Every structure is written in structure tokens, then in C-alpha cells.
Amino acid sequence: MSAGRAISRVLVANRGEIAVRILRACREAGLGSVAVYSQADTSALHVRLADHAVAIGPARASESYLSVRAIIDAARAAGADAVHPGYGFLSESPELAAACADAGLTFVGPPADVIERMGSKIAARATAERAGVPVVPGQVPLTQDLPGLLAAARAVGYPLLVKPAAGGGGIGMKRVAAERDLEAAALQARREAQAAFGDDTLFVERLVSPARHVEFQVLADAHGDVVHLFERECSVQRRHQKVIEESPSTALTPSLRATMGAAACALAREAGYRNAGTVEFLVEGTGDQARFFFLEMNTRLQVEHPVTELVTGIDLVRAQLRIAAGEPLPWRQEAITQRGHAIEARVYAEDPARGFLPQSGPLLLYREPSGPGIRVDSGVCEGQTVSVHYDPLLAKLIASGDTREAARRRALLALRAYPVLGIATNVALLTAILEHPAFLRGEVDTAFLDREAEALVGACSAAGDSDLITGLSDVVGQALDAEAAGAAQAAVGSPRGKTAPDPWTSLGPWRV
């Protein structure tokens, strides 16, 4: 295996909150940083925070953030010697990893062949089976026509899932309750998979329901060492898109946790993995009698990585950079422990009351909460315009505490003090989820939000208005406190001829 090479300047091939997160890690590590930006992001926060910024094309992602050539050209132009892809966009692109190698750049992620192999759900299943990791019962059709799919489906049994071999995020995944529905589901799955991934290969899998979605964070270096950093529970999801994550999972016993962690490491070794990755499982049943099945492997940093950082104390982005530079893992498995509990809530620019319609427009007011145990990873700031061209994720609010209840209450209070004006967000929905009896009991499954969404959206409308008013009151209160302090200072020590500032002027358009 390659021992890696020294890194001095990192190009971040991404935008938004993850670009900001990586740029800050580079600064802490004493590394130079380069941001890339499209025409829609000329004044974005990540552009302002980087040491150097390079324009890479139009707003359309396919011509900018998804262009391998544009990323490589930008890295060369800026004198970068490494590329960090973040998540989304090109993060799981074997083409980018290979292009970096050809250009003499260090790719902060796994090798291209590993990305390609684990990016195919069919190849990933085969790797898991070789590693002795349980997989969801399923079959790859002998032929991709309807008779081949029908034969595979009959062998698996209904209900089942028709799934694309490529990609992720639930795109193209279709639930099939009976044989009469298979043909229509397969046609739609093929169309979506071809459009999204350029590959319409399908396979079928038994529907595991009810189930919990539990993933294990792994780190692997170039010296053959692999460790896991325990699990994250991701069962609160809407149409296979995660909304709230936490660690530890309430679904796991110590024995099951140890078994699943060992399985995740075994899979990473079998795959020849390197850098940070996530092994995703479905958990069926409860207690030590529960069964788990390999779902897929994400060959990149996850959106929800902060909850792992807060319960283990390990900076995952810094670890990625060290591994990419060829350094060995500084931790042995037995030295890594979980401490306390962490919960992450994803704040989206979307309107739950209008079918979760993505929102765009200027952030007229945007104030992030703070306090003990509160972390906000964001890529926006007040006055910035949220674009229609990209994912609507604004920020991630992460709360930690000694216990799950302490973390939950902190998250709840912080969300209630998170005023946003100009566009709709899902903040009120997040508070409603955190207050739901099933969440309080730690008994949610992957169908929870799809099942409860309508009731939650209806229940949170009034609460959302109340929370916004509370958040705005805090903002105005802070402004008035500042004005009062300024007036007092002016009264006792202002230079002759100067008066205290007028609160109506300093508050701008925001009036009490």
C-alpha cells in the first residue's frame, strides 16, 4: 500500500456546511486551503473562509461541482497538493480519485478501485459475504429483463424492494407488495437509476420491516490497521433521507454493538479500505436476539459525522487528512470509547406544510443558537441567498450531554431559539419529532417519519410560530441589552460632543 505523501495545501471540492467544516479543520492543522465556487456561490461563506478561491463554472452542478476536469484544473491553478471531496457531488466518484492520482494529487478518501467496488451494491454485497457479514436476503437476477426480475422476486418473496445497483440516497428504490406491481416498479426504478447514475442495473431484496437503520463509522490507514468509532442511529428518515441521527443507538445492547463493530471492521479489511467510511446496517428485532444485515458502505465522510466526534472525542476530518498523508492510526480499538450522548438535527430550507418543497431566497434573519453542549455546523450566514441549484441543507444542529435525555432537551431548547426569516425551514418539524413519544422512548424505526409526517406537520405549525417568536424575542433582547450597555458607557465616559447610539438606528429594519 502507498504510504502517502506530505500535504501542505488542500482543495475542498465541495460547498456549504461541509466545505466550511473541512476548511476549518485545515486551518487548525496548519494547512493551506482552497475553495472552489460556482457563479451562484460567489459570496458564499466557504469562499470567504478559504485562503484561496477558484471559480469553476456556472451554477449548474454538472458544469461546476460535478466536473472532474474543473476540480483538477482548479487544484493545479491554486497549487494544491490534495483534494478533499466532502460528501455528495464527487465524493464517491472513482473518476475523481483516479484523476487525482494521475495528476499527482493526494485524494483524501479511499482508492478509486475501492470506491468503484463498494459503490456497486451488488459488488458490496459480495464483499460482505466474503467477509462473513450477514446481508439482507436478496438476489441478483440472471437477466435484467422482466422474466429475470420475476424469477428473482419469487425466490426472495414479497414484500420486497427493487433497488438500483449503483448510487444511493434511496433514489430508484421501490417497494413492491405483490407480483402484479413488479413490472411498473421496475420500469420506474430503471428510469430513475439511469437518469441519476447512468446505470439501470437492478436487484431485489427482502423488505426488512420494521427495522432500525444503524451505521458504524470506520477508519482504516495505509498500514493495514482498521478501527470502528461505534455506531450512529439513523432511523428518523423521510423517504430514505436522514433527518435526525444520534449516538449511541438505543437499539443496541453491548453484545450486539461489539458484534456489529467487528463486522464493520471485517468488511473494511476485506474491501482493502482506506480513510474514513461508514458501514450501514438494518437491525431487525430487539435485544441480544436482534439480527443485523449489511445494507451498503458509504466511501466518504458522512453528513452525521459530528455525533461520532462528540461521543468519541476524535476529529474525523483531521483523521482523514492524517491518513491521506500516510500516517498510521494513532488509536487502538480498545482505547476508543463512547462518552455521553449526541443528537444531530438537520436544518433544511424546505416547507414541510407544502410537501417539503425546497425553498430559496435571501436569509433576511439567521441567528444560530449557542450554549453548553450545542454545536452548529453551517454553511450560510445572514444576508446570504439560498440557491435553487443545490441541496437545501442549511446547517446541522448537534447537541450533546451526559445522557440521551440531556442531549435531547438541549437540542429542543436550541431549536426553539433558532430564528430564520426570509424562507421556510423544517425547524418546527424537528422540535415536534424530538417531543414525539416514540422518540422519547427511543423506539423509532425507518418507517416512523413517513408514517407520522402528516400528523407531525399538522401539530408543529402553531408551535413553529411560537418558537420563531421566542427566537426573535431573544434576538431583540440581545440587541436592547447591547444598546443599554452602550448608553450606560456613553453616559459615564463618552467623548464630549458624542451621544449614545440610537437603538432604532442600530437595529436597522428590525423593530421592537
pLDDT digits (tens, 9 = 90+) for 142-183: 999 999 999 999 999 999 999 998 877 778 999 999 999 999
Domain 9-108 classification at class level: alpha beta
Domain ranges (residues) in the chain: 9-108, 137-206, 212-466
Q: What is the DSSP letter of 282?
A: E
Backbone angles phi, psi at 321, to 5 degrees: -65, -40
Q: Cβ–Cβ contacts within 10 Å for residue 41, how many? A: 27
Residue 319: its pLDDT value, please? 98
- HSE value, Cβ hemisphere, 13 Å, CA-based, for 442: 16
Q: What is the pTM of this model?
A: 0.88
Residue 278 Cα to chain centre, angstroms: 11
CATH code linked to domain 137-206: 3.30.1490.20
* Rounded Cα distance, 325 and 285, in Å: 42
Residue 466: its pLDDT value, please? 58
Residue 149: its pLDDT value, please? 94
Judge whether 9-108 and 212-466 match in fold.
no
Residue 495: its pLDDT value, please? 39
CATH code linked to domain 212-466: 3.30.470.20
Taking phi over 0 as left and psi of -120 to 50 as alpha, with beta for the rest, 57 belongs to left
Residue 286: its pLDDT value, please? 85
Which residues on neighbouring strands pair with residue 66, listed in sequence order?
none
Residue 321: its pLDDT value, please? 98
Angle CA(210)–CA(215)–CA(216) in degrees, nearest 5? 150
pLDDT under 70 in the chain at which residues? 1-4, 461-512
Residue 489: its pLDDT value, please? 46
* Rounded Cα distance, 460 and 466, in Å: 10
DSSP-derived 3-state class of residue 472 = helix
